[in-house]
Structure 1
């Protein structure tokens, strides 16, 4: 009788474990970005960003991003920003194309703190996002949006590898954690962690190109589904001074 109870216990434990086992989807993505910084004066600037993301295996459109924000320098170390972001999501699975895009409208506010330690610059950013995601089924868009908060903290380090006149090469690394919050968040309070490394080359004071690798591990709303993403990111930075 005891053996029977033990077998039932082991089977139920195994079933419970299998139900909660993580389901990880590995993906490869290319992010390409144009980032414009319009400096109005010593304190104020307007930053505009266009970002397109494409799956590589197989090749398929992931999403498109437009972001605009105003930034204000409190002093040489502290800066604040506020802006708006529009996402157009085609699919999160390169093997599935639903034939329509899901819009997301996002407000954002951040504060950054920068400090130099010899040649290394440490940059910390805390950002809050208000996300309004358009409701959708597997076949069409539905009425209304779903709202949730997201909190982001990024710790970044920059090191100048080489510099001559107005040209330069610097290395960049950062780690960023993203946390969801709100009544609609049930199983995925942890959103994702991003680890990034890159080299940025400046042609002059106004034009720079950055190539980097980003590792993203993201939890989906189910709580047991995850994205493990290998991302190549190519960015062009363009500064305009008024």
Structure 2
């Protein structure tokens, strides 16, 4: 609870400071498509893998591609832990700029997820830490070495099932996630971004589900005065397998 209060205090103070600072906002529209696999090993352990492709819309330009793999351990029905690795291949962050080469990022992550049932609403809170390694580059291409950042994430999410029929269901999902940067290289953008999401998930059977939703991502860049305001349509396929 104290952690949540600290985050809320940060949001409030950041909003006050940001209101007094001139912003240069770049509005963008994107489409995210992903395949999310959950391999259940036993009642406690599972392996989750994710393949995520992100493109700009109008014009259609590649943004980045993501591969994530993580192991998850269920302590109880209310508490779950996870740890894993992610690889990002970034083509560009602006559809009108092509550097001619892609920039890789390597990321280690750990999280704790707390789950709570509130009648017909399932609520979960995720606390996540990321160790991010960005490959160095200049105007000519990639160079040796990497730059390191910490990032701390807090997400609160709720879902509500409209109906269930045997192994099928339809539910609404709403979430809000705050991300905070940290590290020696972080000067003007301690606040990284905030993501608000709403979507519908349809369970086709016990193994397969699809989800379509809208996300708004408001992200501060390294300058401190430049921002991305991104409207994102996200389509996901969830696939569960058991050993």
Q: TM-score, normalised by structure 1?
A: 0.91
1:144 and 2:177 matched? no
Q: 1:44 & 1:107 partners in 2: Cα distance?
A: 19
1:115 and 2:120 matched? no
Does structure 2 conserve the Cα–Cα contact (< 8 Å) formed by 1:54 and 1:62?
A: yes
Runs of 4+ in 1 over 6 A off after TM superposition: none
Deviations along 1:86-117, whole A, 9 cap, x unmatched? 00000000001111110000000000000101
SS of residue in 2 equivalent to 1:226: strand
Q: 2:140 & 2:58 partners in 1: Cα distance?
A: 24
Q: 1:57 & 1:217 partners in 2: Cα distance?
A: 19
Q: 1:232 & 1:123 partners in 2: Cα distance?
A: 22
CA deviation after TM superposition for structure 1 residue 122, in Å:
0.5
Q: 1:231 & 1:64 partners in 2: Cα distance?
A: 15
1:92-103 alignment, distance < 5 Å? 92-103=93-104
Q: 1:99 & 1:169 partners in 2: Cα distance?
A: 43
Does structure 2 conserve the Cα–Cα contact (< 8 Å) formed by 1:27 and 1:57?
A: no
Q: 1:86 & 1:167 partners in 2: Cα distance?
A: 33
CA deviation after TM superposition for structure 1 residue 138, in Å:
2.9
RMSD between aligned residues: 0.7
Query: What does residue 190 of structure 1 align with?
Result: 191
Query: What does residue 207 of structure 1 align with?
Result: 208
Deviations along 1:57-110, whole A, 9 cap, x unmatched? 211000000000000000010000000000000000000111111000000000
Q: 1:235 & 1:221 partners in 2: Cα distance?
A: 30
Instruction: Give the length in aligned residue pairs.
Output: 223
Q: Which runs of 5+ in 2 are unaligned?
A: 1-20
CA deviation after TM superposition for structure 1 residue 21, in Å:
2.2
Query: What does residue 15 of structure 2 align with?
Result: none
